[in-house]
Chains A and B, each alone.
Chain A
Amino acid sequence: MTATEDLTNTTSTDGAPALEDLVFEGSERVFRRGDDSAVLRMSEAEVAQLAIDAPNVALETNTDERTIMNMGPSHPSTHGVLRLVLELEGEVVKRSKPVVGYLHTGMEKTAEDLTYLQGATNVTRMDYASPLFSELAFSLAVEKLLEIEIPARATWIRMMMCELNRMSSHLLFMATNGMDLGAVSMMIYGWREREEVLRFFEMVTGLRMNHNYIRPGGVAADLPDGWTDEVQRLLEMIPPRLEEYDILMTGQPIWRERLQGVGVLNSAEALALGATGPVLRSTGFAWDLRRDDPYLAYDEVDFDVVVGTYGDCFDRYAIRLNEIRESMRIVQQCLDQMPKGDYRVQDKKVTPPPRARIDESMEALIHHFKIFTEGFKVPEGEVYAAVESPRGELGVYIVSDGGPKPYRMHVRGPSFINLQTLPHLMYDGLLADGVAVISSVDPIMGEVDR
């Protein structure tokens, strides 16, 4: 507590606002530090010690009604390897602490050892449900450092692929959210539709996931012949399926009972915790980088930003369902307006020569070899580029020292930051609702742990 007082004192001088004034109305609870906070600030060693001392603690502090329970890391509803340490009072969750790091493989360290061209293969493995967004954020950051403009066709291909990826990611959410809440058949339906989108990705990029398709300078390959028919087929097939989802879930009294009023957050709290994406929009705060800080060509397409009202699990579900529809609107516009031209920038510095030229020209061969072994050099500096991924603001921060590899690459994973809202969403709710809450935040652990 003394630390708080010290900080308050330093700021109240020289005309800067006092810290108390910066707690926006309605968000007081997220600022708490002590035992009344929703976050269980206890290390693993302390929890283990508590288990040993349990009988004594119960007598001394009269907390005998509270139990500390471990959930995960391999629990079916924790979406991978999320572990939660929960403090329970009967069946009611009090404080809790997400424990992460089980998938930590040092991808940011690895990135310092890969060239800018290889970097996309690394970041694409972070958020494995929406890999194209990580590639896009990385490529935008590198292009910002290089100060190159990419051709219109590449921009529109990127935009269309990303919106299709948003659809597949939200369809995956529909599947897992249904499964977590007992609508088990939903899992099959969500997966079925997602598979159709992934089939199109396979046709374009060669892979269902981890595409390495969006690269600094453009995209890896032009769209294949017959892509319009495939996209058109998707756009005709998915809307009736979404109607089915509405019948299965949205209008169902059981579904509503399970989600409405569960895991409530308000805008001030969401902003204070740094939450973005559907978690922030469910509170009624209309913020979408596609509209508010347009990148690619989002300022040339028509779409709506879907917001909620109550900030509960139902709003987060409904937002994602309707974002699939908005994404389809954007994909339709991409289909109609796809410009002709090159799919990557013809800048000798970053683009390898076309395959055919390598057979004829020694210089082209050397050039190809240089780019793929040594990599291209990127001017010194530091940049941050952000995109709106299905989970929120996905940003890439790169420090370059002028060499062919990033000096430092950091990914702002929206799942990682959104996970901070979990203890506050679960506080004073039932343990069974905790499952609904975890599901509705939709964390992808690959991105949390990196």
Chain B
Amino acid sequence: MADEVEVAAEEGTEPEVETEQVETAYGVPVTETRGERVLHPTADELVATVAALKADGFATLLDVIGVDYLTHGGRGDLPATITPQRFEVVYLLRAHIKHEIIRVRVQAEANEPVVPTLFDIFPGAETPERETFDMYGINFDGHPDMCRILMPEDWDGHPLRKDYGIGRIPVQFKGAPTRR
């Protein structure tokens, strides 16, 4: 396993490194969807994976996206070795020379979702990570300024979670009570 990791990292090869069940690239399971590669590291492997990607030419982190899979029916697109969790953080990276875009999807558990920050590899992760924290309550361990960005600082709850209701304005005036 370790040898395969090194081969992939050194030559920057395509994810042809076959193991018994799952394909791997950059040492983590990889899937392909509509012509794009998707990496599935665990939260512990994330920093090393992204560091390897950056060394391999993925020079820009485009975005950090949170997804809440609470009410999603099936999660058939995850590789067998990855346990689906409620939250998922999606990282988009672009390699300019190879003209490739790659997605990194990390699972984060429901109760205390924590993922390491990528600030030390891509300082551009700072505000999108803050947005993900604000919207989903996913914490980024080691982030220099983990606070809300879009919602007011004293806001309760994380609005993009699936169990957070879409807004309702409390009714100020009700109709007069009728006899029935």
Contacts and interface: CB of A to CB of B under 8 A. Distances in A.
Interface stretch (B16-24, B116-124, B172-180): B116-124
Contact of B34 (A24, A101, A273, A381): A381
Interface string A290-324: 00110000000000000000000000000000000
A245 interface: no
Interface in A234-249: none
Given A384-B36, A449-B150, A420 B127 contact: yes
B60 A274 contact: yes
B5 interface: yes
Interface residues of A, number: 67
B65 A410 contact: yes
Given A10-B44, A17-B52, A382 B33 contact: yes
A177 B57 CA distance: 35
B99 interface: yes
A101 B131 CA distance: 10
Contacts of B72: 399, 401, 407
A16 B62 contact: no
Interface in B33-55: 33-34, 36, 44, 47-49, 51-52, 54-55
A402 B92 CA distance: 23
A100 interface: yes
Contacts of B67: 399, 407-408
A15 interface: yes
A412 interface: yes
B128 A11 contact: no
A19 B121 contact: yes
B142 A113 contact: no
A91 interface: no
Most chain A beta carbons < 10 A, residue from B9, B60, B101, B145: B60
Given A4-B120, A384-B92, A416-B127, A14 B142 contact: no
B63 A417 contact: yes
Given A4-B120, A417-B63, A417-B127, A11 B55 contact: no
A286 B73 CA distance: 43
Contact of B96 (A24, A272, A287, A417): A287
Given A41-B145, A401-B73, A274 B120 contact: no
Nearest to B49: A16
A272 B166 contact: no
Most A CB within 10 A of own CB, among B27, B120, B151:
B120
Contacts of B151: 101, 104
B170 interface: no
Given A7-B142, A397-B92, A417-B63, A17 B51 contact: yes
A230 interface: no
A349 interface: no
Contacts of B131: 416
A111 B78 CA distance: 25
Nearest to A449: B150
B160 A108 contact: yes
A43 B116 CA distance: 21
B59 interface: yes
Interface in B151-165: 151-153, 159-160
A101 B67 CA distance: 20
Given A22-B51, A113-B166, A410-B65, A15 B77 contact: no
A16 B52 contact: yes
Interface string B78-113: 000000000000101000100101010000000000
Contacts of B171: none
Contacts of B166: 106, 109-110, 113
A18 B48 CA distance: 9
A397 B150 contact: no
Contacts of A450: 150
A271 B59 contact: yes
Nearest to A275: B124
A52 interface: no
A442 interface: no
A30 interface: yes
A410 B101 CA distance: 17
A384 B103 contact: yes
A329 interface: no
A380 interface: yes
Interface string B126-147: 1110010001000001101101
Nearest to B6: A15
A6 interface: yes
A3 B92 CA distance: 23
Contacts of A410: 63, 65
Interface in A1-49: 3-4, 6-8, 10-11, 13-19, 21-22, 24, 30-31, 33, 37, 39, 41, 43-45
Interface in A166-197: none
A248 B68 CA distance: 52
8 closest cross-chain pairs (CB), A and B: A274-B124, A3-B142, A41-B145, A101-B150, A16-B48, A273-B124, A104-B150, A17-B55
Interface of B: 2, 5-6, 9, 27, 33-34, 36, 44, 47-49, 51-52, 54-55, 59-63, 65, 67-68, 72-74, 76-77, 90, 92, 96, 99, 101, 103, 116-117, 119-128, 131, 135, 141-142, 144-145, 147-153, 159-160, 166-167
8 contacts: A7-B116, A16-B55, A17-B51, A31-B123, A44-B153, A386-B62, A395-B92, A449-B150
